Each structure stands twice: as structure tokens, then as C-alpha cells.
Structure 1
Amino acid sequence: MITEQRAARMDISDLKDRIVAGDRRALSRAITLIESTRADHRDQAAALIEALKSVDREAIRIGLSGTPGVGKSTFIESFGMMLTAQRLRVAVLAVDPSSTRSGGSILGDKTRMDRLSRDPNAFIRPSPSRSHLGGVARRTREAVTLCEAAGFDVVLIETVGVGQSETVVAEMSDLFILLLAPAGGDELQGVKRGIMEMADIILVNKADGDLKPAAMRTCSDYAGALRLLRKRPQDPEGFPKATTVSALHEEGLRQAWDEMMTLVNWRRDHGHFAGRRAEQARYWFGEEVRQGLLAQLATPSAQAVMQDYAERVAKGDMTPTIAAAEVLERLHS
């Protein structure tokens, strides 16, 4: 038993060293490890993340969301190529929606980002969402930590789509970018206020060809809407803001990057950057506790108790409220 524990520790130590050295295969293996639900793998993953705490590397974490068809993959590829041309190392954590029926995912992001996937300064890792709220895999946060330790300068987190639970990606990002397509003014009603309030920068994509006038109008509509929102303490004058880009023609990308860096640098200078990361750490501590409690309900003994009480509720012998209270009391005893 002691020999096995030592072997595991040695393996984790070796994996850590290879990740820090920029070994892409080791990084892929580590992400596979943290995504595993096996108890022994979870222990190893926790040990690896703990070991990497001493690695003093920091990337710009950018969360990217948008409605299906807005061109997220095209934007990420063009944006990523622009960054790697500046000798920046870019990691893309792209989350594919899982089937609620089979649990499977297509994981086709590398196919959609063919040029970027072949760039030696880029790393693309598609992961299944497994129905996790927020369109991000549960362990995406730990994957970000691994990419930072591997020396990547920018980590792009692509989410499944726009929804109420997109707060999840905002809780692991330094910047939250909302990508939109050109549309009429009525389209403003299609984006929830909560998403608007979370966005640091809104990018209206496809601002080219016949769609350019519509893109400019859409950008103007959102810029006006952003000015009506309550000013946030973490924003300098002029933020959040809306601007146009054309991922297809690679226009406006450098300007968008300059705006992002302006915001990041201001937040660093005024203490908001480190403060926000501290708040996020607190959030994920609470989330881990909540997920741990939910995992206890999945044990065979807990499931047996739940099934017994579910039958009584179905027969009308007990109300759901009383049954739930008794189940919780039994589980805690």
C-alpha cells in the first residue's frame, strides 16, 4: 500500500514537472485526469492541483459566450492566430454540449479550428459539458489552472451558449466577452439583462459585406443599452463597451485585444484583478462543498432511502416536504 502511494506521488511529481516544462502530451493527460470521476483519479487530480500552487504563472482568462451560429469557432481561430502571431501562447478550452439522452458529445472543435489546431503556440482541448449548468465542464476551472502552469499566456474558455447559468464561466474568467451576430434592434430583447450585466465587452461579429451596416446598427444599439446599466466598480470610464469585428476577414481583432488589455491593466493597477480572483476562489470553494453534498446523495445507501420515500410520496402517504425533511435527517444521523 505504501509503495503504491509513493508511486502515485512520484507520478504526480513527474506529471507536474512535465506540465511546467510545456509538455503538451502531459497537459492533455492531466486534463483527462481531472475530468475523471473515479475516486482515485480525483485524489490524484487534487494532489496535482495542490502541487502546481507553487508555480507562479498567470494567464489572461477570457470567457467567451454567444448564441449558436454567431461564429464563435471562427472568431476563436482568427483571434487565436492573431495572438500567436504576436508570439503569445494560447490555450482554448472549448466545451461541447453533451446529449441528455446518451451523454455523448461530438467534440468537433479541432475540426472547426483547423488552422489554430496546427499552430505550435496553440492548444485546443474540447470537453463534454455533461449537462453541467453554465455550458462549462465541471472541471474546466482546474483545466485553466493546468494551462496557466504550462505557460500559456491567454486561456480562452468557450461556452455552450447564452443562458441564465452563464455566471459559471464569469466565475473563472478575468474577462467575459459576449459575441453577437448582426440583427435588427429587436434582437436586443433576445439577450437577458443578466448576461448584459456580466459582459465586459460585447463584440458584434460578421461586420463585413452586406451585413456590415446591420452590424454597425446592432453595435450602436448595444452600446446605448450598456450606458443605461449601473456602473460597476471594476470598470474604468467607457467600459463595458460594444465594438464590431469580422472574424472571417480578420478585421477589428487587434482593436478588440487592445480593449481587453486596457481593461485588464486598469483592473490590475486598481486592485480589482487580484480581488476578483480571490472572490472566485471563494465561490469555487462553496461550489466544491455543494457538489460534494450532492455526491453523497448518489451513494447506494442514500439512493435506497430516497427510493423508499419516493414511493411513499407517490402513494400520497407523505408530502414531499415532510419526506425530504426525514430523508435529510436520516442521512445526517
Structure 2
Amino acid sequence: MDIEQLSERILAGERRALARAITLIESSRADHRAQAAELLERLKGVGRHAIRIGLSGTPGVGKSTFIESFGSMLTGQGLRVAVLAVDPSSARSGGSILGDKTRMDRLSRDPNAFIRPSPSQSHLGGVARRSREAVALCEAAGFDVVLIETVGVGQSETVVAEMSDLFILLLAPAGGDELQGVKRGIMEMADIILVNKADGDLKAAATRTCADYAGALRLLRKRPQDPEGFPKAMTVSALEEDGLQRAWDEMQALVGWRREAGFFDGRRADQARYWFEQELRQALLAKLETPEAKAEMARLGEAVASGEATPAVAARQLLSGLGLEDG
């Protein structure tokens, strides 16, 4: 693969080249990883920045409908929108249905939109391991907004906040017990909570649910990266496309304030540091996946199981053999 030519095509905004590049970075083959690193190195200094929006929500809350309505509204305003939708992978086969394109029929045909479903591959964080690199590619390709949809709400899904500028939590109207079911951790990370399905018979319930969450947000500790009034809860109807412009206005206002206050660039620098540490951890773990390391682990595991060695000594012996002495 000609990486120089591929990078030029990405900078020209070619969707096919972007799709091909994302396939390259998702590959686990050693030669593909080397090419992916070269590609990202070539594109790192282009100076293009999109607004990265992480979106999480419980299954059935209407994430796909929201993304289609919201994305179509943005493309209607002349913005280019990329959607990185992560599908859960089967624990048994490792496969995914990757059905997001079929659920976003209108947006998938929009020339100003790009939708890429990716398998989560059992990666903690609800996002594909290479989603962060896919975001960088979308930025280089000139997209103005990148939406990162996660598998669902849970403790591990919050890693999406480490690759986005805004973290949006999408929730459905429900009774008062709904607050019980949302983990405090994910609420503390949310910049804006959107209560979807605020239409028809559910409109009154959505308004009550929104008020409940607004009250809960006021009880959380104030974060330095938030202006007055944030984080906040709002109602939207993806089906009737109501409240979407107001939500977008609030997102832009928050990003604008953070840019002026210096939090935006500082946050991106912290995220880069976080992903460097993650890459380092993944590289060290990969050393344990080689046939030699697995054979040695099996041998030492037998020694520990039979009582011939303690876990601590066996672990140190394995690390020493891999040249990773812990001192």
C-alpha cells in the first residue's frame, strides 16, 4: 500500500481512501500496524480539528435515530459529519452485525456524511481499540464534527470521554426509579444529558425525567472545565427533530467557552498522554501473547499450581525472561 498516496487522498477528503485507512488501522497484523503508524505520522501536523462528540446511552434509547436526525441537521447547515458507530462483538464468535448503516439510511446516503461501523472486539471502553486513530483520520479528511457512538452505558464505556471534547449521555423518559439505574460515574462525566423521545404520549414523562436529572446534576461537585449552568439536562425528540438545534447551540457554546478559558487544548493534551500510556500497556501485554511467552507461562503456572514456586517469584521469572524485570 502506498502510504504517501493514501495520505494525500485522505487530505483531499476522499471517502473511499478514508474507509481504506480505517480498515488499515483496525488490522492487528504487524505490517499493517507499521503502515498505520506511518500514515498517522504523516497526517499529524495538518492542523485540522473537528468537534469530537462522544455519545452513550442505554440500548433502545434511540441513539441511531438521534444520530441520523442530528447528523442530517448538521449536514443541512453545510457541515461535514463523520459517525464512528461501535457494534458489540460476540463473545463466542467475535463477529458483529454492524447494522448501523441500515439504521441510518438517510444519513448514510448524504454526501457530507461518513458512517463507519466497527466491532468492539471485546475491548473495554465500549469503543473499538482503534477508534481514537479513526477520529484522527476523520479530522485529517476535513470533517467538522465526529460523533463517536459507544456500545452502551456501563462503567467501562466511559473511556469514550478520553477521545472526545464533549460527552453526551442520551436517556429515555421513565419513572423516578430511572435515576437509580444510571451510574454516578457516567453522570459525572456527562457534559449534557439529553432525554430523548420527548414527543407524543411520552412528552410529559420526558419533561419530568429531565427535571429529575437536572436536579441530580446540581448535586454533583462543580468541575473547573464547566461554565455556569453546565452540565445540563435537556429534552429532545429525534423522531420529530425537536430540540436538536438548541442542543447543538449548547454544545457549541460549551466548546467555545472551553477554548477561550484554555481547557480545550489542555484536555486534548491530557488525552494524548492517556493514549500514549494505553499504547504502552497494550504493547507490553502483546509480549505475553507470543508462543514462547505462552509456553513459559504454562510451565510456570504448573510450578505455581504444584507449590514448587510462589506466584510472585514465578511472575518475576517470566518478566526476567522477557527482558521486563520489575527490579
TM-score by length of 2: 0.97
**Is 2:51–2:145's contact at 8 Å kept on the other side of the alignment?**
yes
Aligned pair count? 324
1:122 to 113, 119, 124: 113
Cα distance, 1:319 vs structure 2 = 4.1
- Listed as ranges, the matches of 1:7-86 within 5 Å are 11-86=2-77
Separation in 2, partners of 1:214, 1:314 = 57
Separation in 2, partners of 1:30, 1:248 = 33
Cα distance, 1:186 vs structure 2 = 1.0
Secondary structure of the residue aligned to 1:125 is strand
Runs of 5+ in structure 1 lacking a partner?
1-7
Give the letter aligned to residue 241 of structure 2: E
Show the counterpart of 1:246: 237
Does the alignment pair 1:223 with 2:214? Answer: yes
Give the letter aligned to residue 65 of structure 1: S
- Listed as ranges, the matches of 1:233-312 within 5 Å are 233-312=224-303
Q: CA RMSD in A?
A: 1.1
Does the alignment pair 1:141 with 2:132? Answer: yes
1:93 to 84, 90, 94: 84
Separation in 1, partners of 2:258, 2:44 = 23
Show the counterpart of 1:183: 174
Separation in 1, partners of 2:242, 2:311 = 57
CA deviation map 1:5-41 (0-9, x unaligned) = xxx6xx1111011001011100000000000111111
Give the letter aligned to residue 16 of structure 1: S
Moved more, 153-162 or 319-328: 319-328
Secondary structure of the residue aligned to 1:92 is strand
1:174 to 162, 165, 182: 165
CA deviation map 1:70-95 (0-9, x unaligned) = 01000000000010110100000000
1:111 to 89, 102, 105: 102
Show the counterpart of 2:321: 330
Secondary structure of the residue aligned to 2:322 is helix
Separation in 1, partners of 2:156, 2:191 = 17
Give the letter aligned to residue 18 of structure 1: R
Runs of 5+ in structure 2 lacking a partner?
none
TM-score by length of 1: 0.95
Give the letter aligned to residue 327 of structure 1: L
Secondary structure of the residue aligned to 1:151 is coil
Secondary structure of the residue aligned to 1:27 is helix
Secondary structure of the residue aligned to 1:120 is coil
Secondary structure of the residue aligned to 2:289 is coil
Separation in 1, partners of 2:193, 2:127 = 20
How many percent of aligned residue pairs carry the same amino acid?
Answer: 80
Cα distance, 1:278 vs structure 2 = 0.4
